[in-house]
Amino acid sequence: MMPVPLLMLGETQVGVTVRIIALDLDGDFVEWFRAVGIHEGERVTVLRRALFGGPIHVRTGSGGEFALNRELARSIRVAPLAGPAESAPGADEETGA
C-alpha cells in the first residue's frame, strides 16, 4: 500500500475535497478551529481562492463555510480524498470574490 501524500490546506486546489490530518497552530487557533468544526478527521472542500493571496473559501463536511487566511490554511495538514467536488459547480481557481 502506497503512503497517502500529505498537503497543506493553503495549497489545495479549488474543487478538491481533503481530510484534515493535523492543525499545526498555536492552542488558541486550534481551539477556535475545533469550535467551528474544523478539526482532525473533518472533510473540507476548497470552493474558491481569492486573488492576490487573499482568503480561501472552504466548506466543511458538516456544511459550514469559512473564508480562511492563507497563512493559517498553510498550517493545516490534509490528505486528498477526491477530485473536483460536485458540490462546488463553477468554482474558479482564482476569483475576485
- pLDDT for 29-48, tens place per residue? 899 999 888 999 999 999 99
For the chain, how many residues are written? 97
> Would you say residue 60 lies in a domain?
yes
Other C-beta atoms closer than 10 Å to the C-beta of 6 total 12
pTM of the model: 0.76
Kindly give the parts of the chain with pLDDT less than 50.
Answer: 82-93, 95, 97
> Would you say residue 97 lies in a domain?
no
Q: Give the residue numbers spanning the domain of 38.
A: 7-84
What cell was used for 61? 463536511
What total number of domains does the chain contain? 1
Which distant-in-sequence residues (6+ apart) come within 8 Å of 51 by Cβ? 94, 95, 96
Q: Does residue 14 sit in helix, strand or coil?
A: coil
> Would you say residue 93 lies in a domain?
no
Q: Which CATH number goes with the domain that contains 30?
A: 2.30.30.90
